[in-house]
Amino acid sequence: MLVSTTVLSAEFSLLSGSEIDTRSQSYSYIGSLVEQKMNSRGSLLGKAWIDYLTYKFEQGSVEVEAEAPAFQLSAGYRYYFPGWSLTGWLGWERRDTSVSPDTGGIEVKGVEDSLLLQVEVDSWFNNGTNASFITSYSSATSYLWARGRLKKKALSENTRLGVELIGHGNEDYRAVQTGVIGEYYTNRFSAGLRGGYKNSSKGNSLYVGFEVYLGF
């Protein structure tokens, strides 16, 4: 969900979404963003973010389940160019990873503070196509996440259909996902569903997720 309003040229937003796969691995998040326009070419950004990640992997012959809630604070800058934008973020993350059972030899566990780096590219084309790419890295947990999306207006002026490719993981866990996206949107509201195929450290699965935007 994304709730947005503008006060004194600063735009405030609230984002939320969730995803789960058929192996009961999941990711949910809620975050608040503020964007302050500096000029026609750039904006200062601030972000507070909470997420909850669950995943599974094999340690020897034992299946390990991990739960990893996190809190993030980041600052960034967004550059606007004709038809596209480039955003860079620098921040701090605290993630608390609990594993069960703790068999020893597991690389990522416990409370860790990380330097958080993120880059975003977003572009629009005259035919109604949107291409976007996001990648982020957390230093202490060595968690790398990247996602590319391609969406296009379809069926009506208020709907977009598209595809996505996602890769993410740390020292203990890896996953690659590819799927489709369907989205309905207006200036003040959008709702999207996504789903597809996932190959992770636990094998093959299907995933489904949602994203919602609401503006005032």
103 pLDDT tier (thresholds 50, 70, 90): confident
Pairing between strand 3-7 and 143-153? unpaired
- Predicted local distance difference test score (pLDDT) of residue 208: 98
For the chain, what percentages of helix, strand and coil (3-state, to nearest 5) are there?
0, 80, 20
Domains (range + CATH), the chain: 3-215 (2.40.160.40)
Q: Which of 155, 158, 149, 152 is nearest to 121 (CA)?
A: 149
Q: Tell me the whole-structure pTM to 2 decimals.
A: 0.88
Question: What would the mean pLDDT of 83-87 be, rounded to a whole number?
Answer: 96
186 pLDDT tier (thresholds 50, 70, 90): confident
Alpha-carbon radius of gyration of the chain: 18
Mean pLDDT of the chain: 91
Measured in degrees and rounded to the nearest 5, phi and psi for residue 32 equal: -120, 140
Give residue-wise pLDDT tens across range 5-27.
444 568 888 899 999 999 999 99
Would you list the DSSP string of 5-46? EEETTEEEEEEEEEEEETTS-EEEEEEEEEEEEEETTEEEEE
- Predicted local distance difference test score (pLDDT) of residue 70: 96
Question: Coil, helix or strand for 151?
Answer: strand
Q: How many CB atoms lie within 10 A of CB 41?
A: 11
